[in-house]
Chains A and B, each alone.
Chain A
């Protein structure tokens, strides 16, 4: 047995021993265990990291050291997070999501780099072979794709790739040459930047970006629908479409087939849903403000009588009022704006509904019924965004640094799934709107899908789905904490060598706690050197006590799963459970 292969079971077994035999019998050896943990974690051992995080005694001993403690915790959290991430069922179609997830974890300033996993992405493969040798070859191939290994991206036949970059054109002899060697020293974000440039020149590379790929597929589907619908046009109408870009053709077709409702025609529905609004269908800024003001009370009425809705209303009764704004949002259906503590609904989603229903801006302003209908339609995403408002409010009250993490999305999507499930069962009008809107609106279909997924999976499996399928690019709480802690503790260690005067002088120029608290983990880790010492120390204290955050998420999860157990998903008279045989 060589030294390397012997080391693995040693650490695994030590970890097992610490887990199972901790307590008084080994209390006097906590320092020894800590030393073993430090050594193992420094070499990237995930089992040791997990054991350390569970070994309260050794953990507390480490925490007593203001400098080493947070650094060790950051590394341990990062290793545990990486182990959990890779344990998920990644397949080749999710390689880009895994790339997203790895990009925020493996970089020069990340804790993983300090334990030998990065910043060069290929180091992950070495780590994988050492600590997860039993992973199937298919999974390892997905990882190689996710880290954009040269052989996967460019093949094995070449060691260089020439490309144009901005003004530097290959054809003018001023292109950029990427070699296999230089690729090897690039971090993931740099490799992705190169691939993004390549995509502009070669469509084959769009497979490395899900959004670009999906947009391309949507465009192909829209083109097919436009082509089909053209057979119904007059020669004059066809002449107007001739030579126009696809988006313009869809817009003109929307005008030709005026009146909105697609009446079951899937091609027209796709065109109406994809096209820009006609002038009369657009909500001008003033009318958006008015509608937003009307939506608050209308949505509150919708939320009443459901468990998720009552939770939201209970929150606004204390923290209120529920403020809703309607304006364009980039690709999202809704968002919570922490600056104004307002929920923002995407005006385009509402206008799409208006287009298909045949409503105009004027008709909506004159009709409380149409406002109530739109409030019903949008209420699931109000619930979703209100969860983010609750999270923000909690963090403000606690006075802690709270990054946006996967756990936030699990909570928000679970609350939405719970609300929609219950609403579909109890509210016939809501059910009818969602049911009928599925024909033209992926927004509505997705709301029903989330409710179905949440209800059928249960809270436990739904969390995995959110982490892996919907928000794999977002860090988990553990990952975010380790990323920030690694950078912050390193910076504090560096500053401990400075004199009090030097620190004070630097701090007069540095960013304040308030500014730091608004940063993402990525920003914070990247600019730790520009943040005041007291702010860094405060954030380090916050993220060294993750139990405070986890307790909150766990409590919220308990609420959702308890509520889900008590509701039935179907509004129809479903048969009771099949009789026993």
Chain B
């Protein structure tokens, strides 16, 4: 057994630590605990595209193969508590050659109105895009509220009111997106977590 464990440790060093589900475990390092709220640990994305701290009580979702295929490297953090829609934070790096958006301008364009080009409707409200500075680098802030259908293929109109905040950070190659989404009543409660993740975020220039 000892021999086997030694072998395993060697392999672990060779391959990087794996969790039981076979996905790479987030390289964890202690981070300063917040005065209130959950503890955080460090997460480093493959290829060193970005790092940030993530709340330990939130779960991390990753689609590694599709990330490589699309050249979109992202994690989704999910709050332990949510109502009809999850409270989630996406931290994403869209490489320059990513398959979905033709640059950060395209991302902002598609995310600042609905498909009709409206910034306001009975079900949606998109705030004007703000130019901001985050940690000394240029960025854009998007905020919106929208009613989202839960059953679009049936005649049920059951919907939830989502409130979202998005930071878009252009980079020399590609761009970064930090996307916070929650049901309106849960938004304020988890906003500090998002801001802490955002504050810890480090991407390539």
Interface residues of A (CB under 8 A from B): 1, 6, 8-10, 12-17, 19-21, 46-47, 50-51, 83, 87-89, 91-93, 130-139, 210-211, 214-215, 217-218, 221, 331-333, 420-421, 424-425, 431, 434-435, 438-439, 442, 445-446, 448-452, 455-456, 458-461, 463-464, 469-471, 558, 561-562, 564-566, 568-572, 574, 576-581
| CB atoms of B20 and A424 under 8 A apart | no
Q: From A46, A89, A572, name the one whose CB has the most chain B CB atoms within 10 angstroms.
A: A89
Is B86 an interface residue when CB atoms closer than 8 A count as contact?
yes
- A139, B61: Cα distance in complex, Å: 12
- Which of B72, B110, B156 makes the CB contact (< 8 A) with A569? B110
Interface 1/0 per residue, B99-131 and A, CB below 8 Å: 111111110111111111110011100000101
Say yes or no: A214-B88 contact (C-beta < 8 A), given A88-B61, A452-B115, A561-B99: no
- A438, B147: Cα distance in complex, Å: 13
| CB atoms of B154 and A8 under 8 A apart | no
Say yes or no: A136-B85 contact (C-beta < 8 A), given A16-B12, A214-B156: no
- Which of A16, A464, A571 makes the CB contact (< 8 A) with B18? A16
- Chain A residues lying within 8 Å of B138, measured Cβ to Cβ, are 580-581
- Chain B residues lying within 8 Å of A577, measured Cβ to Cβ, are 103-106, 108-109
Cβ of B132 to closest chain A Cβ, rounded Å: 9
Pick the interface stretch among B29-37, B44-52, B73-81, B190-198.
B73-81
Cβ of B34 to closest chain A Cβ, rounded Å: 18
| CB atoms of A210 and B151 under 8 A apart | yes
- A15, B8: Cα distance in complex, Å: 10
Cβ of A567 to closest chain B Cβ, rounded Å: 10
Within B1-19, the residues touching A (CB, 8 Å) are: 1, 4-5, 7-9, 11-12, 14-16, 18-19
Q: From A214, A450, A562, A576, name the one whose CB has the most chain B CB atoms within 10 angstroms.
A: A214
Q: Which residue of B lies closest to A97 (CB)?
A: B150
- A524, B39: Cα distance in complex, Å: 49
- Which of B15, B85, B88, B152 makes the CB contact (< 8 A) with A93? B85
Q: Please list 17 pairs of residues, one from A and one from B, whose beta carbons are closer than 8 Å in the complex, sorted by A's number.
A: A46-B22, A88-B61, A89-B78, A93-B83, A135-B59, A136-B58, A139-B78, A431-B116, A458-B100, A463-B66, A470-B152, A566-B102, A569-B109, A569-B115, A570-B109, A571-B117, A581-B133
- A211, B103: Cα distance in complex, Å: 40
| CB atoms of A565 and B149 under 8 A apart | no
- Chain A residues lying within 8 Å of B189, measured Cβ to Cβ, are none
- Contacts A569-B110, A578-B108 aside, 8 further interface pairs with beta carbons under 8 A come to A19-B15, A91-B84, A134-B19, A211-B156, A460-B66, A569-B115, A572-B116, A581-B133
Is B135 an interface residue when CB atoms closer than 8 A count as contact?
no
- Chain B residues lying within 8 Å of A9, measured Cβ to Cβ, are 8, 12
Is B161 an interface residue when CB atoms closer than 8 A count as contact?
no
Q: Which residue of B lies closest to A214 (CB)?
A: B156
| CB atoms of A214 and B158 under 8 A apart | yes
- Chain B residues lying within 8 Å of A133, measured Cβ to Cβ, are 20
| CB atoms of A89 and B61 under 8 A apart | yes
Q: Which residue of B lies closest to A16 (CB)?
A: B15
Is B57 an interface residue when CB atoms closer than 8 A count as contact?
yes
Q: Which residue of A lies closest to B10 (CB)?
A: A13
- Which of A13, A93, A435 makes the CB contact (< 8 A) with B116? A435
| CB atoms of A47 and B21 under 8 A apart | yes
| CB atoms of A15 and B109 under 8 A apart | no
Is B96 an interface residue when CB atoms closer than 8 A count as contact?
no
Cβ-closest 7 pairs across A and B = A577-B105, A458-B100, A570-B117, A16-B15, A47-B22, A214-B156, A572-B117
| CB atoms of A10 and B4 under 8 A apart | yes
Cβ of B126 to closest chain A Cβ, rounded Å: 10
| CB atoms of B157 and A578 under 8 A apart | no
- Chain A residues lying within 8 Å of B106, measured Cβ to Cβ, are 565, 577
- Chain A residues lying within 8 Å of B76, measured Cβ to Cβ, are 89
Q: Which residue of B lies closest to A450 (CB)?
A: B152
Q: Which residue of A lies closest to B87 (CB)?
A: A91
| CB atoms of B82 and A91 under 8 A apart | yes
Say yes or no: A455-B70 contact (C-beta < 8 A), given A218-B156, A446-B152, A577-B108: no
- Chain A residues lying within 8 Å of B66, measured Cβ to Cβ, are 460, 463
| CB atoms of A445 and B149 under 8 A apart | yes
Is B155 an interface residue when CB atoms closer than 8 A count as contact?
yes
Say yes or no: A12-B20 contact (C-beta < 8 A), given A136-B59, A331-B154: yes
- A558, B105: Cα distance in complex, Å: 21
| CB atoms of B151 and A459 under 8 A apart | no
Cβ of B189 to closest chain A Cβ, rounded Å: 14
- Which of B16, B59, B112, B117 makes the CB contact (< 8 A) with A16? B16
Cβ of B79 to closest chain A Cβ, rounded Å: 8
| CB atoms of A561 and B8 under 8 A apart | no
Cβ of B70 to closest chain A Cβ, rounded Å: 5
Is B187 an interface residue when CB atoms closer than 8 A count as contact?
no
- Chain B residues lying within 8 Å of A10, measured Cβ to Cβ, are 4-5, 8
- Chain A residues lying within 8 Å of B86, measured Cβ to Cβ, are 89, 91
